[in-house]
Amino acid sequence: MAAIGEIGNNAHNWLSWCSSSYISGLGLASKLDLNENKFNLYLKTKKLQENELEIPVFIFNPTTISEPIPLHIYRNNFIYSRRSADMLFRDGRVESIVKAKLKDKPYYIGKGLLLNASLEPIMLITGTSLLHADGSLILRQMKLYCNPIVFEDTQNALNKYIITRIMPGLLKEDFIYYYGYHPDYASHKYEICVSNEIFDFFERPIVNPLEDMDNKCNEILRANLDKIKIANDEI
């Protein structure tokens, strides 16, 4: 039996944001897909001070910090079925968001990002960074956000793993930051935040189809007022 605070290899790799080959953005929606993704989920940066930003690692890139970014959520029928919570984190090492199942419960996981079946965030990794005048980012601190709902069901296999393995492990272990944005190659401890602040990094647009239809109809009518008037005069 694993000791409390002993993080498994797959979860450790998920938390170790230090690969020089990591390129943020492969799981992002392209501009051509924006309309199709407007009902899904957007990820965004939080501005802390004038030149200081807190950025989810999934979009940690100078090109993806200016506005909310729509995410590709692969919600097809294909599911990775995992027998342990640590194996679930193996699926989060790629730069896309994939669907995985643990103990008959589906989740969505990507680099530094874990969602439940309703696309509510369970955990999120962010990096606090200075934004230089030339647009470059210098990473200063890593933070793990955890949704408080995790502590409401401690019998859930994933929640139990987060509480007994990941949280205590982060308190005692150092992690290397992604050295492309952190030049001193130093290792540091995560800051842990169990809070609903995790939702600050997400947007889930609610669009009323009827309202949209009304707006479109009004636009068409305004654009054709002259024709409508002529037609009425002829009656």
| 93 Cα distance to chain centroid | 13
Strand ranges in 103-170 using DSSP code E only, listed in sequence order: 105-110, 113-115, 121-131, 137-146
Q: Do residues 153 and 32 lie in contact, with contact meaning Cβ atoms separated by under 8 Å?
A: no
Measured between alpha carbons, how far is 75 from 211 in angstroms, rounded to an integer? Answer: 27
**How do residues 136-182 score in pLDDT, each as one tens digit?**
888 888 899 999 999 999 999 999 999 999 999 999 888 766 555 66
- For the chain, the average pLDDT equals 79
Query: Which tokens is 228 given?
Result: 């409508």
Section 77-94 average pLDDT:
81
Measured between alpha carbons, how far is 44 from 58 in angstroms, rounded to an integer? Answer: 10
**How do residues 108-142 score in pLDDT, each as one tens digit?**
998 899 999 999 999 999 988 888 888 888 888 88
- Going from N- to C-terminal start, the domains of the chain cover 9-204, 207-235
Whether pTM > 0.95 for this model: the answer is no
Query: Which tokens is 109 given?
Result: 């996981």
